[in-house]
Amino acid sequence: MDKFTLLTHTYQQTKMSAALGEWRVRGLRGATTVSHNSPQAIAEAVDELLNALEVNNPLDPAEIVSVTFSATPDLDAIFPAAVARRRPGWEQVPLLDVQQMQVNSSLKCCIRVLIHFNTPIPQNALRPIYLHGAAQLRPDLAIFS
């Protein structure tokens, strides 16, 4: 079998396996805004966002590969990952916090999340969640405002 035929065969098998529900790592996005910079306000926003992601997606903490939170520079009262770590089943999930880059006239008081997890669900069936002021980031995907 030549290289082109092998690559074509591999691609077709991958495409067919995905259609049959083969487990893959998928990325799930979400974002929210916080009313003010306090541990309580940030914790409430992170919990609300993660609750909405779990209710609207087949998200099992045992299948999570990693979670990255980013926060705008005006939010520094608590790490979003510290809030997530308190959730049942999230004790062993690899979590990371980063600071969102500063861009002129960008959304303030915003927390974003990217969850990588194993699932047989296709990427286009996942439901990203954009809450409160963050709905303006992706109005095409926002299901809450």
- CATH number for the domain spanning 106: value is 3.30.1330.40
Please check whether residue 53 lies inside any domain of the structure.
yes
**Domain interval for residue 120:** 24-136
Look at residue 3 in the predicted model and tell me its pLDDT.
Answer: 45
**Whether residue 5 has pLDDT greater than 90:** no
How does pLDDT run across 55-69, given as a tens digit for each residue? 999 999 999 999 999
Joined together, the tokens standing for residue 51 give 């609750």
In a domain, 131, yes or no: yes
Q: Tell me which DSSP letter residue 37 carries.
A: S
Query: Do the domain assignments include residue 114?
Result: yes
| pLDDT of the residue at 30 | 97
pLDDT, residue 21, reads: 72
Task: Quickly list H helices, the chain.
Answer: 3-19, 39-56, 80-85
Largest Cα span, the chain:
62
123 part of a folded domain: yes
**How confident is the model at residue 7, as a pLDDT?**
39
Q: Residue 112: inside a domain, yes or no?
A: yes
Q: How far apart are CA 24 and CA 22, in angstroms?
A: 6
Tally the domains of the chain.
Answer: 1
pLDDT over 70 at 142, yes or no: no
Answer yes or no: is 5 within a domain: no
Question: Which residue is it, tokens 């002021």?
Answer: 133
Is residue 9 situated within a structural domain? no
User: Tens digit of pLDDT for each residue in 67-117?
Assistant: 999 999 999 999 999 999 999 999 999 999 999 998 988 899 999 999 999
Q: What percent of the chain has pLDDT over 70?
A: 83
CB 65 within 8 A of CB 117: yes
Q: Which amino acid is at 85?
A: R
Task: Confirm if 68 and 106 have CB atoms less than 8 A apart.
Answer: no
Q: Is residue 7 part of a domain?
A: no
Task: Judge whether residue 2 has pLDDT over 80.
Answer: no
Q: What is the mean pLDDT of residues 13-22?
A: 58
Q: Residue length, the chain?
A: 145
Give pLDDT, residue 10: 44
- Which residues make beta-bridge pairs with 130? 31
Q: Rounded to an integer, what distance in angstroms lies between the CA atom of residue 126 and that of residue 145?
A: 18
